[in-house]
Chain A
Amino acid sequence: DTAVSQTPKYLVTQMGNDKSIKCEQNLGHDTMYWYKQDSKKFLKIMFSYNNKELIINETVPNRFSPKSPDKAHLNLHINSLELGDSAVYFCASSQTTGSNEQFFGPGTRLTVL
Chain B
Amino acid sequence: SQKIEQNSEALNIQEGKTATLTCNYTNYSPAYLQWYRQDPGRGPVFLLLIRENEKEKRKERLKVTFDTTLKQSLFHITASQPADSATYLCAYRISSNTGKLIFGQGTTLQVKP
Our verdict on whether A and B bind, yes or no, reads yes
A102 CA / B102 CA spacing, docked (Å): 12
A56 in contact (CB, < 8 A): yes
A103 CA / B44 CA spacing, docked (Å): 8
A4 CA / B44 CA spacing, docked (Å): 12
B42 in contact (CB, < 8 A): yes
Q: Are B98 and A100 in contact (CB under 8 A)?
A: no
Q: Please tell me the size bucket of the interface on A.
A: 20 to 34
From B34, B43, B93, B95, A107 is in contact (CB under 8 Å) with: B43
| Residue of B whose beta carbon sits closest to that of A97 | B99
Q: What residues on A are CB-neighbors of B97 within 8 Å?
A: 55, 97-98
Given known contacts A41-B87, A97-B98, A104 and B45 CB-to-CB distance under 8 angstroms: yes
Q: Are A97 and B96 in contact (CB under 8 A)?
A: yes
* B8 CB → nearest A CB, Å: 8
| A-binding residues in B (CB < 8 A) | 8, 32, 34, 41-46, 49, 87, 89, 93, 95-101, 103, 105-106
| B-binding residues in A (CB < 8 A) | 4, 31, 33, 40-45, 48, 50, 55-56, 90, 92, 94, 96-107
Give 9 nearest A-B pairs by CB, closest first: A104-B43, A97-B99, A43-B103, A98-B96, A101-B46, A56-B98, A55-B98, A104-B44, A42-B105
